[in-house]
């Protein structure tokens, strides 16, 4: 995956590759400029756009509310599929997000690290006592997940950096810590 591409690179790739080329964006500043960028990518051949509807922040990369209104604006004004990213923590968030934005799909990142069950329709909606009694055994043990993940990292060296591995394992542990 390329981390930063210009509109022209997307154009070049979409016209020379035989596979679809899609782009994932953060919000521009000011936010309404995001639609201009997305439309420019659409005009140059992007097959779909994923909008992570937060602005880039060096310190708190994924925190704060995603601006789903901007996802909706892309969906309302564009023709290619739009994927909505941000604010999805539990199953109900997926439904709410799709209903509000009209997006063609959602992308989920961080919450799956903590609880891979979060996107199942029977996953816990809250971390209250009902959750603990019904689902405590359903959430994988963070040590099991961590050991399995370390095994994958060992089998595929170079896939994740040591700082990334540390961050991922902290997510496994943090979720369980706050849930229990
Ligand atoms: C472990 C992890 C790895 C990620 N790797 C990438 C990546 O390689 N490229 C990218 O554009 N976004 C990456 N992201 C960001 C997510 O795709 C997503 O945009 C972000 O986490 C916001 O969604 P969320 O609120 O559901 O977490 C990553 C996120 C996480 C948690």
Query: What confidence score (pLDDT) does residue 150 get?
Result: 95
Predicted confidence band of residue 137 (pLDDT cuts 50, 70, 90): low
One-character DSSP codes across 40-54: HHHHTT-S-EEEE-S
Are the CB atoms for 111 and 139 separated by under 8 Å? no
pLDDT in tens, 2-23: 456 688 888 999 999 999 999 9
What is the CA(79)–ligand 1 centre distance, in A?
25
Kindly give the number of the ligand 1 atom that is closest to the alpha carbon of 89.
Answer: 26
CA pair distance 161, 158, nearest whole angstrom: 7
Highest mean pLDDT: which range of 9-13, 45-49, 52-56: 45-49
Would the pLDDT of 46 be above 60? yes
Supply the pLDDT for residue 21: 95
Nearest-CA neighbor of 117 among 140, 100, 87, 150?
Answer: 140
Q: How far apart are the CA of 52 and the centre of ligand 1, in A?
A: 9
For position 127, what pLDDT does the model report? 55
Question: Which is nearest to 83 in space by CA: 50, 108, 54, 52?
Answer: 50
């Amino acid at each position: 995956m390329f981390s930063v591409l210009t509109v022209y690179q997307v154009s070049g790739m979409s016209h020379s590759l035989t596979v679809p080329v899609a782009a994932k964006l953060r919000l521009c500043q000011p936010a309404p400029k995001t639609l201009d960028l997305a439309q420019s990518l659409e005009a140059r051949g992007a097959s779909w756009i994923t909008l992570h509807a937060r602005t880039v922040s060096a310190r708190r990369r994924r925190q704060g509310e995603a601006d789903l209104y901007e996802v909706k604006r892309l969906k309302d004004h564009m023709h290619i599929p739009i994927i909505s990213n941000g604010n999805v923590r539990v199953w109900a968030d997926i439904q709410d997000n799709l209903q509000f934005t009209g997006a063609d799909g959602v992308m989920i990142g961080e919450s799956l690290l903590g609880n891979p069950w979060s996107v199942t329709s029977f996953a816990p909606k809250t971390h209250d006592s009902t959750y603990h009694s019904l689902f405590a055994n359903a959430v994988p043990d963070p040590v099991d997940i961590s050991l399995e993940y370390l095994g994958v990292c060992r089998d595929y060296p170079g896939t994740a950096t040591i700082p990334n591995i540390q961050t991922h394992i902290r997510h496994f542990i943090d979720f369980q810590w706050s849930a229990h």
